[in-house]
Amino acid sequence: MLDAYLNVGDSADQIMRLNMWKVTTTFDFDADKFEKLDSGKFRYKCFKGFTDGALGSRTASFWQPYSDDVNSTGELLVREGPLARFIRSAHREGYQIAMHAIGDRANSVVLDAIEMAGSNGIGPELRPRIEHCQHLRERDIERFAKLGVVASMQPIHCTADMGFVGTRLGNEREATSYAWKSLKKAGAVLAFGSDWPIESMSPIDGIHAAVTRTRKDGTPDGGWHGEQCVSVEEALTAYTQGAAFAAGWEESIGKIESGYFADLCVLSADPFRTNPRDLHKLQITRTIVNGKTEYLRV
């Protein structure tokens, strides 16, 4: 369907900026290589791969067995060596890499592969990303910044999953789950998103989850592992500047500043002055894309 997306992406009527990825399942670079495309509205120069599955289905890959299934450590879909070779080849030709990793072992494997691939001095400038990075070993948190790996995370997953994380993983692994604050403190670039259609695409819902780590009804009191909450400013930055950096568009979008596209929205109230527990009540009253109002709430 690439031609169809290109026709839309290059048309005068298209207002959204599309950053599309090609999924690889074989990790065979020569077989999966594609023609890179990049413009102000359309970007196609990133490979997406899957290292493991999901926590809910117990297919996320962990170093230790699941607490509620001692016979399973999940499913690891690719090992360090083949992944490192794929990443090295992709980086040599200027492709970005985005790897899905949920479990702590899956995240370790991706970090190891990126470190191995980076031995040729190419990598960080291409913004390698780990998608989700939900469950991490303490020792791996600081590696994101050291290796220049973007932590692409979806705060809404925390509040959606927190009811069963402890059952699946136990107290120790639960404590380093959805570790936004720890990653931020360690110097990693946070890029927040939605993972729609798995969860709500609303960044308002995501900001509420990131700042409070509670459901919309305010539970649990103080937030689930509230020490990992981020500030409103940090959450907004991750959704704007962080996401723009992760896409390689940080010089044209992500800020309200001279020289940038006028892509912005107007909220019903100031999020910096809103009680954090009420952030989810904020509404979009106007959306402006490239300086033109495309949505106006009436």
CATH number at 118 reads: 3.20.20.140
Phi-psi region of 231 (alpha: psi -120 to 50; beta: other; left: phi over 0): beta
Whether 290 is covered by a domain: the verdict is no
DSSP 242: I
Alpha-carbon distance of 191 to 252, in angstroms, equals 16
In a domain, 287, yes or no: no
Distance CA 191, CA 235 (A): 9
Residue with tokens 């050291």: 146
Task: Answer whether residue 279 is part of any domain.
Answer: no
Give the pLDDT of residue 119. 64
Sign of CA dihedral 225, 275, 256, 290: positive
| Domain housing 200 | 2-256
Q: Give the pLDDT score at 121.
A: 67
> According to the model, what pLDDT value does residue 124 have?
79
- Sheet of 292-296, strand order: 264-267, 284-289, 292-296
Q: What is the CA radius of gyration of the chain?
A: 19
Task: Tell me, yes or no, whether 272 lies in a domain.
Answer: no
- Measured N-to-C along each axis, helices 203-212 and 155-174 cross at an angle, to the nearest 10 degrees, of 30
Which pLDDT score, from 0 to 100, does residue 120 have?
62
Helices within 58-217 (DSSP H only): 80-92, 104-117, 138-141, 143-147, 155-174, 180-185, 203-212
The pair phi, psi for residue 30, each rounded to 5°, is -60, -35
Tell me, yes or no, whether 294 lies in a domain: no
Total domains present in the chain:
1
The rounded distance, in Å, linking the Cα atoms of 103 and 54 is 8
Please, what's the b/e burial string for 142-172 (b: 16 or more CB within 10 A of its CB; e: otherwise)? ebbbebbbbbbbbbbbbbbbbeebbebbeee
List 212's β-bridge partners, or say none: none
Could you give the CA distance from residue 45 to residue 279 in angstroms, rounded to a whole number?
35
Residue 193 lies in a domain: yes
Q: Does the residue 32 lie in any domain? A: yes
pLDDT per 10-residue tile (average), the chain, 298 residues: 78 84 96 88 94 97 97 98 96 96 98 88 86 98 96 96 96 96 97 94 96 97 96 98 95 94 96 97 96 94
Instruction: Give me the amino acid identity at 204.
Output: I
Residue 243 lies in a domain: yes
Distance CA 226, CA 257 (A): 33
Closest C-alpha among 21, 51, 85, 25 to residue 248: 21
Distances (CA, A) of 231 to 41, 43, 108, 234, 271: 30, 31, 27, 5, 11
- d(CA 54, CA 101) in angstroms, rounded, equals 9
Q: Is the pTM of this model over 0.85?
A: yes
Question: pLDDT tens-digit profile of 16-56?
Answer: 888 999 999 999 999 999 999 887 688 999 999 999 999 99
Q: Which residue has the tokens 């106006």?
A: 296
- The size of the chain, in residues, is 298
The pLDDT of residue 165 is: 97
pLDDT at position 214: 97
Nearest Cα to 204, choosing from 230, 236, 244, 178?
236
Q: Which residue has the tokens 């926590």?
A: 55
pLDDT of residue 101: 98
- Rounded CA-CA distance 133/146 in Å is 16
